[in-house]
Structure 1
Amino acid sequence: MPLRDLLLGLSAIAIWALNIIVIKVGVVEMPPLLMTTLRFMLVAALLVPFNPVHRHQLPFLLLLSATFGTLHFALLFIGLEQAEAGTGALLVQMGTPFATVLAVIFLKERLGPKRLVGLLLSFAGVVVLAGGPTLPSALPLALLLLSALGWAVSQLLIKRGPNIPPLALAGWVALFAVPQVALGSLLFEHDHMSAMANAGWAGWGAVLYTAVMSSIVAYGLWYGLLRRHPVNRVVPMTLLVPVLAVLLGMVLLGDSLGVHKVGGGALVVTGIALIILRFRPRREPQASQRREPQG
């Protein structure tokens, strides 16, 4: 991979890692479901007018908005309100093991010993993380793992669904997710106008960053790389996202780095590496190029 493309890939990884930190900062100033709603509104406004889709693709996009928009993103924002950013970043990476298990069950994919070991290590890492002090209760653990499950289900849907350009997918999923998340915000959160009026640069900056930088700029860079290079040379870079998020959490938010986070994080990342890394060249199916990075 040329140095320019490597730097572009690392830029996308850095944007996604910082996205976890930005969400954590944003939900301090704004209720998480309200912030998610505003994020989706901005993404839809910026992408939908310029990325039309066919009418027969709308039911698929509506379904995906429930799993990827609401289940993944909404629960990610809520979970990060109650957990350290680095811990949240590690737990959300469990989407890859979940997707592997679902592919074995529903798509009859072969697991193999290497991926089985990867699964076991990943789930062992979650057990270690759950025993640490960076999760104040079982609730954020459950929310973040459900967010990861939402990502995993979405990957199977994308793999089997119609071939929709990535930015069109992001825009229309955001559009259909707006009423779902907004309804949740109306039911479970209060004083919306006051929250928006009192939010400072950090809250509104978080909405802008998560919508523009994470959903548009980073995805644009990422799918440009996937068009120019084999998937197995690009996707392994996503392993850097949780590592960098942990480091950024320490530097920017003062997060702790205890033995549970180090040990559990190492197990999770090692397990995911065994799942996604291929030691022998193998032809990738075209659909896998639409794999959505987490967060």
Structure 2
Amino acid sequence: MPLRDLLLGLAVIVIWALNIIVIKIGVADMPPLLLMTLRFLLVAMLLVPFNPVYRHQLPFLLLLSVTFGTLHFALLFIGLGQAEAGTGALLVQMGTPFATILAVIFLKERLGPKRLVGLILSFAGVVVLAGGPTLPSPLPLALLLLSALGWAVSQLLIKRGPNIAPLALAGWVALFAVPQVALGSLLFESDHLDALANAGWAGWGAVLYTAVMSSIVAYGLWYGLLRRHAVNRVVPLTLLVPVLAVLLGVLLLGDSLGLHKLAGGALVIVGIALIILRFGPRRKPQESGQESQG
């Protein structure tokens, strides 16, 4: 990979890792579902007018808005409000093991010994993380793991669904997710007008950053890299996201860096590396429909 593309890939990783920190700061300033509603609304406004889709693709996009928009992103925002940023970033990476299990069950993909070891190590890492002080209650753990499951189900749907351009997919999923998340905000959150009036740079900055930088700029750069290079040379870079998110959480938010997080995080990352890294002849570059968790 040329140095320019490597630097672009690393820039995307930084954007996605910082996205975890921004969400954590944002949900402290604005109710998470309200923030998520505004984020989806902005993404839809910026992408949908320029990325039309066919009518027969709309039911698929509506289904994906439930699993990817509501289940994954909404629970991610809520979970990060109750867990340390680095711990949240590590737990959300469990979407990869979940996706592997779903692919074996529903797509009849072969697991193999290397990926099996990766699954075992990943889940062992979650057990270690859950036993540490960074998760004071089971609720953040459950929310973040459900968020990861939502991401995994979404990857299965994307793999089996119609071929839709990544930014079109992001825009229309956001559009269909707006009423779902807005309804959740109306039911479970209160004082919306006061929250909007009193929100500061952290809340509005989180809306802007998660919509523009994470969803549009990072995705645009990422899929450009996937078009120019083999998937197996690009995707392993995502292993750096939780590592960098943990470090940023420690530096910017004062998160702890204890033995449980180091050991559990290492197990999760090594396990995921065994799942996604492939050893053998280089494959030709191809485009991937896989969405990131950022």
Establish whether TM, by shorter chain, passes 0.5: yes
TM-score calculated relative to the size of structure 1: 0.98
TM-score calculated relative to the size of structure 2: 0.99
Displacement of 1:291 in angstroms is 1.1
- Whole-Å separation in 2 of the counterparts to 1:73 and 1:281: 36
Q: Structure 2 matches for 1:146-157, cutoff 5 A?
A: 146-157=146-157
Displacement of 1:282 in angstroms is 5.9
Q: Does 1:269 align with 2:247?
A: no
Q: Structure 2 matches for 1:276-291, cutoff 5 A?
A: 276-281=276-281, 283=283, 289-291=288-290
Secondary structure in 1 matching 2:278: coil
Secondary structure in 2 matching 1:29: coil
Aligned residue type for 1:123: F
- Whole-Å separation in 1 of the counterparts to 2:160 and 2:103: 11
Aligned residue type for 2:84: E
Residue aligning to 2:237: 237
Residue aligning to 1:122: 122
Question: C-alpha offsets along residues 140-181 of structure 1, whole Å, 9 cap, x if unaligned?
Answer: 000000000000000000000000000000000000000000
Judging changes above 3 Å, is the alpha-carbon distance between structure 1 residues 265 and 79 closer, same or farther for their aligned structure 2 residues? same
Aligned residue type for 1:204: W
- Whole-Å separation in 1 of the counterparts to 2:3 and 2:282: 24
- Whole-Å separation in 1 of the counterparts to 2:48 and 2:216: 12
Secondary structure in 2 matching 1:290: coil
Displacement of 1:284 in angstroms is 7.5
Judging changes above 3 Å, is the alpha-carbon distance between structure 1 residues 284 and 3 closer, same or farther for their aligned structure 2 residues? closer
Aligned residue type for 2:102: L
Displacement of 1:73 in angstroms is 0.1
- Whole-Å separation in 1 of the counterparts to 2:159 and 2:105: 15
- Whole-Å separation in 2 of the counterparts to 1:252 and 1:18: 10
Q: Structure 2 matches for 1:182-201, cutoff 5 A?
A: 182-201=182-201
- Whole-Å separation in 2 of the counterparts to 1:91 and 1:83: 10
Q: Give the root-mean-square deviation of aligned CA atoms.
A: 1.0
Q: Does 1:170 align with 2:170?
A: yes
Displacement of 1:283 in angstroms is 4.4
Aligned residue type for 2:289: R
Secondary structure in 1 matching 2:136: coil
Q: Structure 2 matches for 1:1-295, cutoff 5 A?
A: 1-281=1-281, 283=283, 289-295=288-294
**What 5-or-longer segments of structure 2 have no aligned partner?**
none
Secondary structure in 2 matching 1:30: coil
Secondary structure in 1 matching 2:133: coil
- Whole-Å separation in 1 of the counterparts to 2:281 and 2:111: 17
Displacement of 1:285 in angstroms is 9.9
Judging changes above 3 Å, is the alpha-carbon distance between structure 1 residues 106 and 282 closer, same or farther for their aligned structure 2 residues? farther
Secondary structure in 1 matching 2:274: helix
Aligned residue type for 1:290: G
- Whole-Å separation in 2 of the counterparts to 1:225 and 1:174: 23
Judging changes above 3 Å, is the alpha-carbon distance between structure 1 residues 121 and 189 closer, same or farther for their aligned structure 2 residues? same
Question: C-alpha offsets along residues 63-94 of structure 1, whole Å, 9 cap, x if unaligned?
Answer: 00000000000000000000000000000000
Displacement of 1:292 in angstroms is 1.1
Displacement of 1:281 in angstroms is 2.4
Percent identical pairs in the alignment equals 87
Displacement of 1:190 in angstroms is 0.2
